[in-house]
Structure 1
C-alpha cells in the first residue's frame, strides 16, 4: 500500500490545478500535504461570520482588503494549494495575479470551521501548519464547535509560537501587522 504524503502525492500540482480549474462551482478543491481535499460549500452562518469579519476589517483597516477564497500557493506546505476563507492583504495586492498567488505580502489568513468530518485535520492542523511554514504573520480561526476565536501569530521555523484563544463575546486582539481589535459579541448570534 502506497503512503500518500507531500513526498509521494496523489497527483502532481499541475494535474491538481487542471482539475480545480474544471471543477463545478459547487465544489472547492484544495491540495494539502500531497492530498486532494474537497472544501464544503459554506452554510449561511459560515457566510455571515465571514461578512462579520469583513466589516470589522473594513472599519478598522480600510487600507486592507479581505479576499474570500483567494488561491494561495503554500510552498512551505509542500507545494500545497489552498483557498483560505479569508486572506487579508494591503489594498490592491492581488491585482494582476492569476488564480494562485504567493503568500508573500499576506498579513493574515482566516478560516471558519465547517460542520464536517474533515474540519479537525484541515482547519485546526494542516492549514494552520501550512500558513506557519509560509510565515503568514497571523492565522485567525473562528472555531464554531468551541465558540472561540483562536489567534495564531509569531510564525517561526514552521510553527506559530503564540496562540491566544478568545470566547465569543470577548475582545480579540489581532497583533502586528494586522493591528485590529475584534468585537466578537455578534458571533453569539451564529452559535446555533
Structure 2
C-alpha cells in the first residue's frame, strides 16, 4: 500500500457484521483495516496458554475477568472488528453489549500467535495498532515462535509508546492499572 493513500474497505462494516453473525461456529471472522480476515482455528497449546493466563488473572485480580474471543470495535474510527484471544475487563463488563462491544473499559487485550503465514501482519502489527487506536491501556502478545511475551502500553495517537519483551520463564509485570505479575515458567512446556 502506498503511504498516505487509504485502502478502500472490501465492504461496509455493517455487511461484515451480518456475515460474521451468520458464519458457522467453526469459523471466526474479523474485519481488520477494511479487509475480511479468517482467524485460524486454535490448537490445544493455544488454549492451554489462554487458560494459564485466565487462571493467573483471576487469582491476582478476582474483580477482573479474561473474556475469550469477545468481539471488539477497534481501530481509530471503531470500524475494525477484532476477536482478541482475551479481553481483560471488570467482571460482567460485557453484559448487554452484544457481539461487537465497545473497547471502553477494557484494560488489556491478549493475542497468542498462531502458526500461520498471516500471524506477523495480523497479531504483531494490525491488531496491536487497532488496540492502541481504540485506547486499550495494554496489549499482551504471546509469541509462540519467539518464546516471548511482549507488553505494549501507554497508547497515544494510535500507537503504544511503551514496549517490553520478556522470554518465557520470566516474571512479567503488567502495567497499571492491572497490578498483575505473570509467572511464565509453565509456558516453556508449550514451545515446539
TM bin, normalised by shorter chain, reads over 0.9
RMSD: 1.2
Matches within 5 A, 1:105-124: 105-124=105-124
CA distance in 2, matches of 1:6, 1:22: 29
Normalised to the residue count of structure 1, the TM-score between the two structures is 0.95
- 1:139 paired with 2:147, answer no
Cα offsets for 1:7-32 (capped at 9, x unmatched):
51001111101110111111100000
The equivalent of 1:52 in structure 2 is 52
Distance 1:169 1:77, change over 3 A: farther
Distance 1:141 1:75, change over 3 A: closer
Q: Secondary structure at the match of 1:76?
A: coil
Cα offsets for 1:139-165 (capped at 9, x unmatched):
000000000000000111111111000
Cα offsets for 1:102-121 (capped at 9, x unmatched):
10000000000000011000
CA distance in 2, matches of 1:43, 1:20: 21
Q: How many corresponding residue pairs?
A: 188
CA distance in 1, matches of 2:108, 2:90: 10
**Runs of at least 5 residues in structure 2 that lack an aligned partner in the other structure:** none
Matches within 5 A, 1:1-192: 8-76=8-76, 79-192=79-192
1:177 Cα deviation (Å)? 1.1
1:79 Cα deviation (Å)? 0.4
- Does structure 2 conserve the Cα–Cα contact (< 8 Å) formed by 1:6 and 1:78? no
Q: Secondary structure at the match of 1:15?
A: helix
Runs (4+) of structure 1 exceeding 6 A deviation are none
Normalised to the residue count of structure 2, the TM-score between the two structures is 0.95
